[in-house]
Structure 1
Amino acid sequence: MRLFIVTTALLTSTLSTASEKNDIERITTTASRAEVSADPLPLVISSISQAQLDLIAPTHIEQVLKHIAGANVQHGNGQEYLPALRSPVLSGAGACGGILTAEDGIPLRAAGFCNINELFEAHTEMAERVEVLKGPGSALYGSNAVHGVINVITPDTTYDEHLVGLDLGSYGYSRLKLRSGKDLGNQGIGINASVTRDTGYRDDESVDQEKLNLRHRYSNNELSITTGLSYTNLDQQTAGFIEGFESYKDDEIAQQNFDPDAFREARSFRLWSKTQWQKEQDSLTITPYVRSQSMTFFKHFLPGTPLEENSQNGVGIQSLWQHAYSNTFTLNLGLDSEYTRADFLQYQDQPTQGSDFLIATVPQGKHYDYDVSSTLLAPFVSLDWQWQALSISLGARFEQLNYDYTNNMLAGRTDENGNECGFGGCRYSRPPSGENKFTNTSPKLGLSYQLSTNNYLYANLSKGYRAPQAAELYQLQREQQVADLESETADNLEFGFKGQYQQLHYVLSAYAMNKENVIFRDSDFFTVNDGQTKHRGVELELDYQLTESLQLALAASHAEHTYSYAQILSGVNIIGNDVDTAPRNIANVQINFQATDATIVALEWHHVSDYFTDPENLHSYAGHDLINLRGAWQINEQLKVTARINNLLDAAYAERADYTSFTGDRYFPGRPRNIMFSASYAW
């Protein structure tokens, strides 16, 4: 983890020596479902600690993940975003399947029903830490873990610790935080909660959000049972894109909301119970869970502005048996399975406005109405062998995902009453009821060589995949009656160096990934998957203690994401072009100054280079640089106050930029300079 100076300074009122701070072991649970040291692993795990999160005081997950080399989350409006991790920014009906997101190791969504904004269902604001596994580097994760895993880990609140906090910021932002626990000996209970209100910078936008984690712990000599409950509620009034070349530079336009009726309402619920039996050579972990989500939102970006209602309800179980044959050889066996029942409804209350073509082809009434039941079964195995200074990890996961789809409307390209549309037919097409099955295998081979006591050379070869999402299979358009899709696959090779050298902790990694069967909507509005892309990158993360009171943290990446298949768009063959919305250079630099034993000041610079906004590479965004300033003062053992100035130089920039042939250049404008003050009392 970077910024361990921050974590120590904020949690204690005395300054430890630099050597003591850099000796803190970096622990991960995402790589193996158990606490292990991160540096010796033959893959890259990056982490943001709880104290770092306290200093950042994130109002959005983007503010956290910008500290991870290779991550590039573009904030939309409210709690919405588009993600990227060793990838271009992912967009489209099922592109969210490229990154697996989880809370406490439980995926936020079922394998076939991802949502591009699903991380707003994780309690990042009150997390213990956020871990990011880069690349398809583990047999523990199957479909959706193509580019990596983002795992939000909530704190164990079952001990005698209590905290209340208040955040107040610009543009009507406020957040109340509560954490409390009670240790009852061999068991304990606790709560972790936050309530957010944000009236927003732009016209007619707002966010009301509540998040809750409950936890219970029981343990004896060989058995431990940890049970958790998570609930989130989001009520958001959404501001959409602004249009026009570099319109984000016009303060008046940037603040306007041209979609004042847009909204999103979302609820999520998860209940899980992790049971662990531990003996001398064996460990067995079984985690059953229940998961439920529902969402309603106004699709202001589509003609006719339809309303979508969707929900997913399911149960699942994760299991892992670990047997240590010796001090140097361990066998891991597991089985993951889940069942999910989902429904989807899209309908339009009013007639479509616009051109004669849109009026004729986008009918009033229901567009889609279907149910899907999915069943996932995934056994996996891995072997970990230590041979002198060389660690070898070999594993594989087999996964079968079945969809049972029921169309609740007339099949085909008509309105809900069976009437045909003009201009060749209706926009929306519904396939007949049916079943789809996808089977995939993801092998991995990882090598880690210990160069010295705290330094490692690593390499891994792995394969990732994602099954087509339900939205890609069953929300068709124009003349397409059936989507004949295969799973996207990715072959990944990476190597690098990581470890500790005196006062420097470093991770240097290089990767090469080739993706095949990439799913996209072509120029005929057919959902197809004959796309191919290449992904090449170098990443560097540094945590360097310059002096007793000065520390530097760097997260930087250079990456090239290119199309490797021929397709003619607007007269341009895109083969060899940069994938749109894929900046080649991203860097985050932080300088942390320990002014006194009780105060710290952090200055942050975040750089995003220019990038193309269309596949033809004819339009682009110039990139931006942002400066943020943060400070914290530990007044006494219980009371801490912090302050942040985001966008210190008041730069005009776009959180997200893209280009379409219908609208031209369009943007989500970034917020001007804004301030937040926080106070927390812990006992």
Structure 2
Amino acid sequence: MTLRRAYLFVVIALTPTAMMADELADIERITTTATRSSTANTPRPFVISTVSQTALKLVAPTHIEQVLKHVAGANIQHGNGQEYLPALRSPVLSGAGACGGILTAEDGIALRAAGFCNINELFEAHTEMAERIEVLKGPGSALYGSNAVHGVINVITPDSTQAHGFASLDFGSFGYKRAKFQQGHDMGDSGIGISASVTRDSGYRDDESVAQEKVSLRYRLETDNVSVVSGLTFSDLDQHTAGFIEGFESYKDPIIAQSNAYPDAFRKASALRAWSQFTWQNERSTLVITPYLRDQDMRFFKHFLPGTPLEKNGQTGGGVQSLWRYQGFGSVQVELGFDGEYTQANMLQYQQNPTQGSAFLVATVPQGKHYDYDVASTLYAPFFNLQWQWQVLSIDAGARYEHLNYDYDNNMAAGRNRDDGTPCGMGGCRYSRPPSSENSFSTWSPKFGLNWALSDQHLLYANVSQGYRAPQAAELYQLQRNQTVADLAVETANNLELGIKGVFNDGENPLNYVFSVYGMDKDNVIFRDSDFFTINDGKSSHRGVELELEYAFNADWQLRFAGTHAKHRYESDQQLGDVNIKGNEMDTAPRNIANVQLNWQPRDTIMTSVEWHHVGRYFTDAENLHEYEGHQLVNVRANWQPTEQLSLTLRINNLANTAYADRADYTSFSGDRYFPGKPRHLAMTLQYNW
């Protein structure tokens, strides 16, 4: 059955019975990611998974990958230090604009402007102090536009304005240390608070390290007419980065796994975000307006490219989110909104030393500047959403129109010459700079969903939606070889999802569950072809089933499970060497991923947890000629709280000391290559609350 026919089938097949759907509100977790406010309580026809504050405290993640594995459909591959590559109902995304496939946010505001994402950008969010992390799967909401193709990862910072606080210290293997602090001052109708973290990690591999500081400020003001919540997050990262190791299954050799062929590689990044959310509310309507500012700067050594150039990039800008929600007579709710932002960005790629290697690389990768440009972008996006509840049936329909404009200014001579204007040998320089230009992209994205109450505890839902992403600035203006202009269109994804969610309530032993089946077809997929042209006539398909459940056997024992089975395939003709990859499985896309946690609380003051994480085999190249065998990890955690103020948490990660790869890849130049996972390592957290 095609997706378009399936859409019609869903609309026709769901018919109401005689029970009120609002009785299901208690099983739907109300999230800021779904509503932009805490006042709406209508179940939505899409899935949002939540990593709770309790889970974050027990895991105390040194990297966000350690907690996002608790979400079915998520697959974050840890690189080195704070770097990673993400997947959410997708293969692991890589490449210049691949970060546009998943929207990452903090407190509902995207970490980066729509056209200037970075694949590692979640290290700028204050996950160390997060209250929770919310993950919206698929393009199910009109609140989010470009980049929310496969979903949204939203880090929610804590309300630190209450009159309490804590301090904690982490110590772990391989020189890991972290200090955290939170303090609030409550003045009744107002409050102010601070959350801060400092991380130092000398690392498992040679010549790697992480030094990172983050601080979040929060202000709250409540009056008779308006409530105001303001936040600010600043992060600073100074990282010495270890690169891939090479050779088939080289991660199984402890000496090679610990080595680092790129001791000079580094990443330095700072980011500042500030926002204020103003909320006006009366009996029937709510108005939320959130202006925000961003400022980011990054420098990193591109050790993975010939000539190992240095990249400097930055962006400064701001915008506003707005939402008006009106509860009409009967059971109709209307939402109208407008989002807009303006960003000024810059990018410089510079190679200090002559290229080493083959005669071809020496001739075509010149010393000096490769790219130097500025881009001013403007985005505006009106949207609406209508919810109508009739007996057990709730209809959710909406649409978003988005217009994104780039004003690109090339600060070098256009073409593929050296920065002094002289030509390269052997056909020309590797890097090509398009002339200054203006590019605009407009997209209309509809959403339609149904909720059907099977009982007061179980809800069936269906969601038909279209996601999209505009081409990223890097895809438009960082060209190679003979390409002088990238004529790109918006990448789109047609998505269908069916599912059931609810709770089997057996007295004191409830079973909460969410079961989802999804299918997504992507068109105009942007990729770099065998001629090194950036084009977007690719197609791909994504099919999967997911299950998340939580079951309390009794007051002491609890089981949590998150698992997915999925197939991601290339659906367009593309010749790589002698292989047409149409119909092949996409590389770095394991079919099966599962996470199981068994928690035991023998006393009120003691909590223990055993976690098993499984990653299935996957191909490491698009030709499906090379693969990684997958791995299984066991982690053990225990928390002891001897007093109300004091707690001690112990963690042993990779208990079985398994040799595995956080990421496996294959290229025709290097062959098999890996980011090796850490061997068995321990960590301890001591926290004092007041």
TM-score where L is the length of structure 2? 0.95
Per the alignment, residue 620 of structure 2 pairs with 613
Per the alignment, residue 86 of structure 1 pairs with 89
Per the alignment, residue 329 of structure 2 pairs with 326
Structure 2 Cα separation of the partners of residues 37 and 51 of structure 1? 24
Structure 2 Cα separation of the partners of residues 138 and 326 of structure 1? 24
Q: Decide which of 479, 489, 493 is 1:490's aligned counterpart.
A: 493
Per the alignment, residue 603 of structure 1 pairs with 610
Per the alignment, residue 542 of structure 1 pairs with 549
Structure 1 Cα separation of the partners of residues 292 and 166 of structure 2? 28
1:368-517 alignment, distance < 5 Å: 368-502=371-505, 503-517=510-524
Q: Which runs of 5+ in 1 are unaligned?
A: 1-22
Q: Decide which of 571, 582, 592 is 1:575's aligned counterpart.
A: 582
Structure 1 Cα separation of the partners of residues 42 and 531 of structure 2? 48
Note the C-alpha offset of 1:470: 0.1
Note the C-alpha offset of 1:91: 0.3
Q: Decide which of 528, 539, 543 is 2:535's aligned counterpart.
A: 528
Per the alignment, residue 659 of structure 2 pairs with 652
Per the alignment, residue 245 of structure 1 pairs with 248
Structure 1 Cα separation of the partners of residues 540 and 29 of structure 2? 34
Aligned-partner SS, 1:260: coil
Note the C-alpha offset of 1:58: 0.3
**Contact persistence 1:29–1:36 (CA under 8 A):** no
Q: Deviations over 1:170-219 (max 9, x none)?
A: 00000000011000111000001100000000000000000110011000
Q: Decide which of 123, 127, 140 is 1:124's aligned counterpart.
A: 127
Note the C-alpha offset of 1:38: 8.1
Q: Does 1:554 align with 2:554?
A: no
Structure 2 Cα separation of the partners of residues 39 and 326 of structure 1? 15
Per the alignment, residue 633 of structure 1 pairs with 640
Structure 2 Cα separation of the partners of residues 676 and 396 of structure 1? 47
Structure 1 Cα separation of the partners of residues 654 and 207 of structure 2? 22
Note the C-alpha offset of 1:36: 6.4
**Contact persistence 1:39–1:499 (CA under 8 A):** no
Per the alignment, residue 219 of structure 1 pairs with 222
Letter in 2 for 1:466: R
Structure 2 Cα separation of the partners of residues 251 and 545 of structure 1? 40
Structure 2 Cα separation of the partners of residues 529 and 130 of structure 1? 32
Structure 2 Cα separation of the partners of residues 82 and 198 of structure 1? 20
Letter in 2 for 1:311: G
Q: Decide which of 331, 342, 363 is 1:360's aligned counterpart.
A: 363
Q: Deviations over 1:377-403 (max 9, x none)?
A: 000000011110111100000000000
**Contact persistence 1:322–1:330 (CA under 8 A):** yes
**Contact persistence 1:126–1:193 (CA under 8 A):** yes
**Contact persistence 1:28–1:36 (CA under 8 A):** no
TM-score where L is the length of structure 1? 0.96
Per the alignment, residue 17 of structure 1 pairs with none
Runs of 4+ in 1 over 6 A off after TM superposition: 36-39
Aligned-partner SS, 1:171: helix
**Contact persistence 1:384–1:393 (CA under 8 A):** yes
Q: Deviations over 1:609-640 (max 9, x none)?
A: 00000000000000000000001011111111
Structure 2 Cα separation of the partners of residues 515 and 572 of structure 1? 22
Q: Deviations over 1:583-633 (max 9, x none)?
A: 000000000001111101100000000000000000000000000000101
Structure 2 Cα separation of the partners of residues 441 and 151 of structure 1? 24
Per the alignment, residue 239 of structure 2 pairs with 236
Structure 2 Cα separation of the partners of residues 350 and 321 of structure 1? 55
Per the alignment, residue 4 of structure 1 pairs with none
Note the C-alpha offset of 1:26: 2.8
Q: Deviations over 1:301-348 (max 9, x none)?
A: 000000000000001000000111125111100000000000000000
1:268-347 alignment, distance < 5 Å: 268-347=271-350
Q: Decide which of 161, 164, 173 is 2:167's aligned counterpart.
A: 164
Aligned-partner SS, 2:174: coil
Letter in 1 for 2:165: H
Structure 1 Cα separation of the partners of residues 42 and 201 of structure 2? 39
Structure 2 Cα separation of the partners of residues 425 and 398 of structure 1? 41
Q: Which runs of 5+ in 2 are unaligned?
A: 1-25
Structure 2 Cα separation of the partners of residues 476 and 421 of structure 1? 16
**Cα–Cα, structure 1 residues 24 and 676, in superposed 2: closer, same or farther, change >3 Å?**
farther
Note the C-alpha offset of 1:25: 6.7
**Contact persistence 2:27–2:503 (CA under 8 A):** no
Structure 1 Cα separation of the partners of residues 128 and 329 of structure 2? 41
Structure 1 Cα separation of the partners of residues 210 and 53 of structure 2? 24
Aligned-partner SS, 1:245: coil
Structure 1 Cα separation of the partners of residues 131 and 41 of structure 2? 17
Structure 2 Cα separation of the partners of residues 254 and 45 of structure 1? 37
Q: Decide which of 52, 62, 75 is 2:78's aligned counterpart.
A: 75
Q: Deviations over 1:367-423 (max 9, x none)?
A: 000000000000000001111011110000000000000000000010001111111
Aligned-partner SS, 2:585: coil
Letter in 1 for 2:243: G
**Cα–Cα, structure 1 residues 113 and 136, in superposed 2: closer, same or farther, change >3 Å?**
same
Q: Decide which of 172, 179, 187 is 1:184's aligned counterpart.
A: 187
Structure 1 Cα separation of the partners of residues 28 and 518 of structure 2? 25
Letter in 1 for 2:259: Q
Structure 2 Cα separation of the partners of residues 520 and 326 of structure 1? 49
**Contact persistence 1:40–1:450 (CA under 8 A):** no
Letter in 2 for 1:600: M
Per the alignment, residue 10 of structure 1 pairs with none
Report the more deviating stretch, 655-664 or 320-329: 320-329
Structure 1 Cα separation of the partners of residues 115 and 249 of structure 2? 37
**Contact persistence 2:28–2:43 (CA under 8 A):** no
**Contact persistence 2:27–2:457 (CA under 8 A):** no
Letter in 1 for 2:212: Q
Per the alignment, residue 675 of structure 1 pairs with 682
Structure 2 Cα separation of the partners of residues 225 and 592 of structure 1? 39
Per the alignment, residue 15 of structure 2 pairs with none
Q: Deviations over 1:72-120 (max 9, x none)?
A: 0000000000000000000000000000000000100000000000000
**Percentage of pairs with the same residue:** 67
Report the more deviating stretch, 204-213 or 561-570: 561-570
Structure 2 Cα separation of the partners of residues 637 and 100 of structure 1? 39
Q: Decide which of 614, 624, 631 is 2:631's aligned counterpart.
A: 624
Structure 2 Cα separation of the partners of residues 39 and 535 of structure 1? 29
Note the C-alpha offset of 1:570: 1.8
**Cα–Cα, structure 1 residues 36 and 280, in superposed 2: closer, same or farther, change >3 Å?**
closer
Aligned-partner SS, 2:57: helix
Note the C-alpha offset of 1:221: 2.5
How many pairs were matched up? Answer: 662
Note the C-alpha offset of 1:35: 2.4
Note the C-alpha offset of 1:27: 2.9
Per the alignment, residue 48 of structure 2 pairs with 45
**Cα–Cα, structure 1 residues 361 and 491, in superposed 2: closer, same or farther, change >3 Å?**
same
Q: Does 1:95 align with 2:98?
A: yes
Structure 2 Cα separation of the partners of residues 169 and 395 of structure 1? 48
Structure 2 Cα separation of the partners of residues 37 and 595 of structure 1? 38
Instruction: Indicate the RMSD between aligned Cα atoms, in angstroms.
Output: 1.1
